[in-house]
Amino acid sequence: MTLSTDEISEIDLKVLLENELVKVHFQPFFSIREKMIVGYEALSRGIHPLSGEIIPPLTLLKVAKEAGFIMELDRLMRKKILECFSNFCPQPHELILSLNFETSIIDKEIGSLQLIQLTRQLNLNPANIVIEILESKMKNVEALAKFVNIHRENGFLIALDDVGRGHSNFDRIPVIHPDIIKIDRSLVMNLQDDYYRQEIFKAIGQLSHKIGAVVLAEGVETEEEAMEVMELGTDLIQGYYFSKPQEPNFDFAGLVNHLVDPMAKKFKKRMVEKLNINKIQHERYTLMIENLVSEISTLSEDQVDEKLSAALLNHSVAKALYVLDDHGLQTSQMACVMDHQPRKGIFRVPPKGTDYSTRDFYYVLMDGGFNRKSFTSEPYISPATGLFCLTIATRYNDKQGKTMILCVDVVPNYLKHMGRIMTLFGG
């Protein structure tokens, strides 16, 4: 049974602090690819001095704030966590311990060096201790930067917590230069069914990797969520699917054999199956494009228009077909699908003469110096059709020997879960 704030008096809180009545739990986080536990997030709960009942952490923090003892409670929690980690973990120098830090007192903790001193006393390596900063709660950015710099200089790691939840203050990232970015459960939940959240998750992950931060997905509660976050680029996973917070004597190592190893095998199988599907699709694209290039390379400009229109009807994978010259100008009519919802005015089929010289699928082939015959763009919204697609561009010589580029817009299998069309306005 757990208690509410109404059931805890200030006297109870003082007795709790004096007698260090705090219970520590650990929740592991894993690297599925490495098939190992990387570390633990530490969580503290209070014990009522009279009844012995558990006081939830948020309840305890609220009571301590109202009574003016938040600093004392926060320091006690850190002390008990570090002691527990030092005692229970057989290899504390090989695993990471992640500590939640009460953000509201950071400005008061800058000069105390309490965490630094405590870590030294317990013979723990600061490089194995992660200080978690809640990204939305710290208002004094100058104090935050100073706190982070002092602790980083002493070897501690810094994590930005709850990224993607509510107010995402990405301006905190250049201030604290996080070593770990923890993506919140609100983005992870049912991620496999929501394309928009998938793209946000992936974007945060790509940003994290570009600045040298490790990505940790929090709150993973299902196998499908775990598979999805791994496919989207997470490095570490934490959540109830693998383990709820447990007491220190729990057999955490057994989770690797029972859950992590099977998950790694399933993920490998999933990715191999996707690779095989993509390989088959790529072969289909290649055959279609090779045949089309072979045909249009011997035709006049008017005949090319007719051939592209016919090819669009014969090849369902193609959503738009058009030809560019060696200057990036469109020399053919664009043959494109028109079977989706009414398009917004921003999407228009471009006429002959449209300049594509600033598009990557033109300048990589013609100006990149790589002597490439074909190039596939990143996915983008087609300004012609409003479809989310990618362009496969192939260089060839026409009947006069002039260099031309055949462009084929396609919607690959991995984009089809978006539905038939995605426009800038959600059409």
The pLDDT assigned to 424 comes to 31
Q: Three-state DSSP class for 394?
A: strand
The pTM of the whole model exceeds 0.85? no
The pLDDT assigned to 92 comes to 62
DSSP secondary structure letter of residue 184: P
C-alpha 124/C-alpha 93 separation (Å) is 7
Q: Three-state DSSP class for 66?
A: helix
- DSSP output for 9-57: -HHHHHHHHHTT-EEEEEEEEEETTTTEEEEEEEEEEEE-TTT--EE-H
Range list for CATH 3.20.20.450 in the chain: 5-271
Over residues 44-79, the pLDDT tens digits come to 999 998 888 888 888 888 889 889 898 899 899 999
Structure tokens at 146: 């100073």
The pLDDT assigned to 137 comes to 59
The burial of 11, by beta-carbon neighbours within 10 Å (0-12 exposed, 13-18 middle, 19 or more buried), is given as exposed
C-alpha 304/C-alpha 407 separation (Å) is 13
Range list for CATH 3.30.450.20 in the chain: 300-418
What spatial distance separates the first Cα and last Cα of the chain, rounded to whole Å? Answer: 50
The pLDDT assigned to 173 comes to 86
The pLDDT assigned to 379 comes to 86
Contact partners, residue 112, CB within 8 Å, separation at least 6: none
C-alpha 225/C-alpha 35 separation (Å) is 17
Name the residue among 96, 92, 94 with its Cα closest to residue 83: 92
The pLDDT assigned to 426 comes to 33
The CATH code for residues 5-271 is: 3.20.20.450
Query: How many degrees, rounded to 5, is the angle at CA 90 between CA 239 and CA 134?
Result: 40
Q: Look up the CATH architecture of domain 300-418.
A: 2-Layer Sandwich (3.30)
- pLDDT less than 50: residues of the chain: 341-342, 417-427
